[in-house]
Chain A
């Protein structure tokens, strides 16, 4: 009986679990909280797929080309082809399990236009596409739970993988329910832990996306890829705790960006790019706002009550609730914010990492999006990657022999955790996480340069040097404490990737190297060995097979 351990229960984790269960594989689906709390529920805009019989003349090939172009030729052709070719199948499957898509009176899926795409190919569920897909997948997982094929484990956080000689045999989970470590053996482990938002503190995403799993696996020998490519969303509303996404639909409906110069209102995007200025791509607008260095506003008030109430009601409510802003009368103060990570764990076409039987899917894996992601492609990638990993695992012989004995390693980790717990210190790990966020925001912003990146590396090296020597407040969840070093290590790797790419491409913009260089048309791969970081360009395209 084959058994897979999936860590993370957002859309990618659930997609993988369901596909495994369909093929008779037993699944343990571990996460600290239920799927309803995952970042996936926040996806609003939609999911891309070309549907057969498209009357606009759209084609799978066009979806492939748009994705490759959007990714500035860093997304692997074979991977992207697989993604786009499976778009319709995945959409039909979601429909088939009862996802509440927005449909026309004949029940056909509606589609909307999204940036960087030649046709309207983004299917959606009102303004809550991610949430609706999560709800449908939760039910599908439940069906297999009832059959005994999927077992959810809540209150469980990833601690480390059980790896021997380049092969993964399971993972250690920290189980909040009994407050200790549990070794779970499996024929394969799938990491589905989402993006690495917490490196930057306040972002548009969930507090649960902290990058720990990717950082820890990196320290255990897994390679990372394209970390420097981080998508900033140009229009977010800042609150005390986060940056809330102000939907692109606001500009789609005619919303105008402006700033104030000497008491004058300046529509800077329109002045520079003409009437379509407000609908330039996310990276272009983010860079323009960054260059202005001024407060920027998004005005929808002139659109009138009827447009706002009928088409932008969610935006109206969000601004009123979290910003005290009356969008009928006032402009919305906006700032760019970290939004999506194109980089992550390096995986082959079958979503296996360089460690055998260790897979990564969803936003924590780097595939498909190259140097920039098209809106609507990440939900598709989360679902598709979950399927691909499941199929690869299903097509493989289960392990015939008993796994090696990991009891010594497990005991050692238990002891370390115990020591942390016995400390009387009150020093919160969050103080270092806040310092890290400041460093990342300041030095790995929308526009980078060598001086800032070098300073960023120096800062993180300092945090790393003290992280291991401080005892942290033992009254918080142990996970917060043990996760710090790996989070810092991931941040360091990210900074180093950005420093090594001496060109500008997609979401990575260097003021000291403003041109796109042919020599850099390969993925950045980062490896770690006992404290030594080494970066290389994947010129042989090893991760495209």
Chain B
């Protein structure tokens, strides 16, 4: 099976495609494919030319840390839970997330997610829940990986300078509903950096590996019913 990877040696350098022949086990995930290409033997491209090892990020390898987010056959996904058996076509095309600066190959700098939350100081501080809390939704929202897949697919998210995307909206919801004294302040921030520009394509919900119902967060923040 052919595997094409969009590579980039350094943050500023030009990206280029490189193609590999994968002859490893067919039950592997894309993370497994990358590992296999890197370390099963010397790494060579389809022409037999030696090349450098493919850079990518991982930690838990079971879909709960968000490290290995990338674009696989045009769809943003976690490499560790995308399996060859579920991919269609004769080739796997892998590229880094496109909305974030590339550090090296498939490793991107997603610190804008954290920077935006920090800049807006989205933090609970003190647990003072509103009278009617939706515990199940709080639990789901707090599982956000900050993987950035929702931002990658969002038609309104460009580079995170003004519109901060679904990960931001969900954290805003968590703060506003777990500390009622912050509700007003957080709703203002939310409106500024999310509410006023969200076109409700909801692609973020479809792609989210944690299946977070961002629409529920949005609806409650918009209506102020937390």
Contact (Cβ within 8 A) A38 B81: no
A318 to B31 alpha-carbon distance, docked (Å): 16
Known contacts being A131-B142, A242-B61, is A139 close to B175, with CB within 8 Å?
yes
Assess whether A41 is in contact with B25, with CB atoms less than 8 Å apart.
Answer: no
**Once bound together, how far apart are the Cα atoms of A337 and B62, in whole Å?**
16
Check: A420 CB closer than 8 A to any chain B CB.
no
A240 to chain B: closest residue by CB: B32
Q: A136-B124, A426-B50 are in contact. Are A34 and B146 (CB under 8 A)?
A: yes
With most chain B CB atoms within 10 A of its CB, the pick from A140, A142, A318, A476 is A142
**Which A residues lie within 8 Å of B225 (CB)?**
none
- Count: A-B pairs, CB below 8 Å: 134
Contact B65 A98 (CB under 8 A): no
Count class of interface residues, chain B: 35 or more
Tally of A interface residues using CB under 8 Å: 53
Is B16 at the interface (CB under 8 A from chain A)? Answer: no
Q: How far is the CA of A430 from the CA of B36 in the complex (A)?
A: 12
Query: Across the interface, do B142 and A240 meet the contact criterion of CB distance under 8 Å?
Result: no
B-chain residues with CB within 8 Å of residue A96 when the two chains form the complex: 126-127
| Segment at the A interface, from B111-119, B150-158, B191-199, B213-221 | B111-119
Interface check B138, CB cutoff 8 A: yes
A241–B63 alpha-carbon span in the complex (Å)? 13
Expressed in whole angstroms, the minimum distance between the Cβ of A309 and any Cβ of chain B is: 16
Interface flags, B45-63, vs A, CB<8A=1, else 0: 0000010110101111111
C-alpha spacing A477/B54, complex, angstroms: 11
Per DSSP, chain B at the interface is loop
Chain A 63-105 interface 0/1 with B at a Cβ cutoff of 8 Å (1 = within): 0000000000000000000000000000000011110100100
The answer to whether A37 and B66 touch across the interface, beta carbons within 8 angstroms, is yes
A477 to B178, CA, bound (A): 41
Return A89 CB to nearest CB of chain B, in Å: 15
Residues of chain B within 8 A of A95, CB atoms compared: 127
Q: Verify A241–B61 contact, CB threshold 8 A.
A: yes
Contacts A103-B135, A136-B124, A155-B103 aside, 13 further interface pairs with beta carbons under 8 A come to: A36-B65, A38-B65, A39-B60, A97-B127, A98-B175, A135-B144, A139-B124, A142-B114, A142-B123, A146-B121, A176-B103, A241-B29, A242-B61
Q: List 7 A-B contacts (CB under 8 A).
A: A41-B65, A136-B124, A155-B103, A240-B25, A241-B61, A241-B80, A431-B39
Q: CB within 8 Å of A: which residues of B?
A: 25, 27-29, 31-32, 35, 38-39, 42, 50, 52-53, 55, 57-67, 80-81, 103, 111, 114, 117-118, 121-127, 135, 138-139, 142-146, 171, 174-175, 178-179
